[in-house]
Structure 1
């Protein structure tokens, strides 16, 4: 098996040892990084017939591209029963060529042109989401904080305490050089909590009584702007990795990222036990005071079309979905598995990783979906454009809340007009 995730390699080898003990089948794990080098390696090996039996792939994109190229096999006939039932329901369709995905692949220019409707080219291995807050436990203790904030107001109060204790290192880091992060990782889940699903979606529509320029829009922009005094100095110039590294180096007390951030922090020398993790808190007076965060499939596993042991390859993939194996994989990799884990897994995962798993626990009504199945934004909507407008509000302080609201309204209307809708 090949993987592009260095943080997964040791965890996969531990699972492989358990698999050999149970089945007698040996699985060899090889790692190739970075991502682009891995893709090149796979494409080259496909031409020479040197592919492994199993590939770890990026979910909902790379898997279909490899499927279209004949690099990986269709395993739709095998993914059923107990195996399919173990995977978290929101991501069970990941890897499957749905009617919509097939329709999008029909143009010759589509990267996945040639895929077959109903085929399955991968099974989710790990999942994740955005809008996770990480906090340095020692810095919290030094500021007199000993619990997770229950709501947005308590989160702001905690930021005030940590920056009061140390103005230079007590703030909040986020890779705002990637302009969409402020929008997608903070403002959107915050708006969903404050306004509810319908109110949140209306921000991007054409009704002036409910869009960003409305009182509801002004409300959530004002809440987002409350972070302005607490940003780590220079956070607007940091990439996502640099923002996380700053937190790992003690340059900020809080960091906003995703579930996947924990593994990166571990790679950069942080002990997960020294980190408090929680979903971005909801406003206490919001429509959804207890909001969950919907998972996305991040990485998946596929069977190479040239595998000489396809049945053993599928046995290995199914083995990885076993709840006990998945929980141990999660602990070893500091990543969240696609398998639905029961309450008994908490003792294996530990408090920090378990908090990430718990952030997914919700109902359809109270769960913010970072990638909604039904699009409500205007066609062609570019998140970076909205993110750039938000950056001028905070942290740059170049625009007011009202002017930011006006610009976001104008932006959405320009997309609707371009789409002639």
Structure 2
């Protein structure tokens, strides 16, 4: 999921457990979709670029192309990540929503549990070219294990460490840090030259979750037990959250002002040369749109506890990405299916993923020479070797909200000079766990 990413209000999040009806552009009452409006589709796209206007410039020519090919007009709305999950959850209960929509891949199992989305069984997958067109890592974040996918992969991403070459050179740092201890040590050299070290977005709830999930994996922990029940207060989970927040509270690598940062603010600081490093998903197009040329920064794997990235405890990214879903009772089921086929076709996959500096989840498109840059080499290697999917459980979106909010509150404590201790972290996570639905 792109970064970001969204936070749903508690009341709307809880509707996941209750929602059993689908929504869409029309009036089908059997939940099975229809073709009452064969010439129109509504599409909610997630905000992938530096702004909504950037997304419109990327997407509208492709939607016009689809209309020319099929005669089907697509009405586009680009929805900010801060609103997207709320909008989707409201649509599952109100019956008022789009025909086709982007979802963060981490939400797949949660939205699948509502029954609102069209299942991509083998028959439906065959209509868009079949399951084998998609790479395995992307398919791993399309819904609960053992169930038909609730969506199909559209864009694949991974986190990387972006670093300002000039700031590093000025500080006498020859190469990017491979471990967190090295990052903290490099930070002291960078601060001695009057620069900020590492950008973060403490008020960005989903970004918080993505990072602490990776730290938890590096500590050999997870936020859910094997039976799918929340396990937020294990020693490893607590240590993971504390280590991330301590980058501000203890190590002073993250500026205190970043506690209030929301989506894209840390990217903006990095693009302007204010901070030396940035942890972000597939940031190249975002940085370019903000005026930072590729020769100004380097890209390296996200640091680990020790050694080099790999499997197991060396996980250094979530499997990030965007999936494309169809509301089950759309009034244009055939058109929606045709649109998904178009968007996941080789030509569009190359166009769109190049525009967003993402990796095509379609194997045949991924082999295009345009995806062989140094930046993409790091991202593809991470996805292949050292990324893990967030838990594909029905309560995942609630987990993002409550744990991400707990981290936000801990960053606020750090910024205000209040102590961040093992006990205070555990208390915040215990409170978050209490907010999870009970079975």
**Do Structure 1 and Structure 2 share a fold, with TM-score over 0.5?**
yes
Cα distance in structure 2, aligned partners of 1:397 and 1:314: 53
Once the 2 structures are TM-superposed, how far is the Cα of residue 381 of structure 1 from its aligned partner? 8.9
Q: Is the partner of 1:58 in helix, strand or coil?
A: strand
Q: Which residue of 2 aligns with 1:406?
A: 423
State which structure, 1 or 2, has the greater radius of gyration over its C-alpha atoms: 1
Once the 2 structures are TM-superposed, how far is the Cα of residue 405 of structure 1 from its aligned partner? 0.5
Contact 1:139 1:170 in 2 (8 A): no
Q: Is the partner of 2:163 in helix, strand or coil?
A: strand
Contact 1:187 1:220 in 2 (8 A): yes
Once the 2 structures are TM-superposed, how far is the Cα of residue 233 of structure 1 from its aligned partner? 5.3
Q: Is the partner of 1:255 in helix, strand or coil?
A: strand
Q: Is the partner of 1:298 in helix, strand or coil?
A: strand
Aligned partner of 1:258 among 281, 287, 295: 281
Aligned partner of 1:57 among 87, 102, 107: 102
Once the 2 structures are TM-superposed, how far is the Cα of residue 82 of structure 1 from its aligned partner? 4.6
Q: Does 1:277 align with 2:303?
A: no
* Cα distance per residue 1:106-131 (max 9 Å; x no partner): xxxxxxxxxxxx6x6642312445x5
* Cα distance per residue 1:348-391 (max 9 Å; x no partner): 352224433332122xxx54433354989x99993145315632
* Cα distance per residue 1:188-217 (max 9 Å; x no partner): 423422x3247997995667xx4667xxx3
Cα distance in structure 1, aligned partners of 2:201 and 2:172: 27
CA gap of 1:16–1:128, structure 2 versus 1, over 3 A, is same
Cα distance in structure 1, aligned partners of 2:191 and 2:276: 8
Q: Is the partner of 1:138 in helix, strand or coil?
A: helix
Q: Does 1:356 align with 2:356?
A: no
Superposition TM-score, scaled by structure 1 size: 0.65
Superposition TM-score, scaled by structure 2 size: 0.63
Q: Does 1:306 align with 2:331?
A: yes
Q: Does 1:83 align with 2:130?
A: yes
Contact 2:223 2:232 in 1 (8 A): no
Once the 2 structures are TM-superposed, how far is the Cα of residue 282 of structure 1 from its aligned partner? 0.2
Bigger relative CO (Cα 8 Å, ≥ 6 apart): 2
Indicate the RMSD between aligned Cα atoms, in angstroms: 5.1
Contact 1:86 1:323 in 2 (8 A): no
Question: Which runs of 5 or more structure 2 residues have no equivalent in the other structure?
Answer: 1-40
Q: Which residue of 2 aligns with 1:32?
A: 77
Contact 2:163 2:298 in 1 (8 A): yes
Question: Which runs of 5 or more structure 1 residues have no equivalent in the other structure?
Answer: 101-117
Q: Which residue of 2 aligns with 1:386?
A: 406
Contact 1:55 1:302 in 2 (8 A): yes
* Cα distance per residue 1:294-341 (max 9 Å; x no partner): 324434153883339x26x54553343345642442112223433347
Residues 8-407 of structure 1 mapped to structure 2, 5 A cutoff: 8-12=55-59, 25=70, 31-35=76-80, 55-59=100-104, 60=107, 68=116, 76=121, 77-80=123-126, 82-92=129-139, 122-128=151-157, 132-165=160-193, 167=194, 169-178=195-204, 181-182=207-208, 184-193=209-218, 195-197=219-221, 204=231, 210=235, 217=239, 221=242, 225=246, 228-232=251-255, 234-259=257-282, 261-272=283-294, 274-284=296-306, 288=312, 290-302=314-326, 305-307=330-332, 310=334, 314-322=337-345, 325-340=348-363, 344-345=367-368, 347-362=370-385, 367-373=387-393, 382-384=402-404, 386-388=406-408, 390-391=410-411, 394-399=414-419, 404-407=421-424
Once the 2 structures are TM-superposed, how far is the Cα of residue 249 of structure 1 from its aligned partner? 2.4
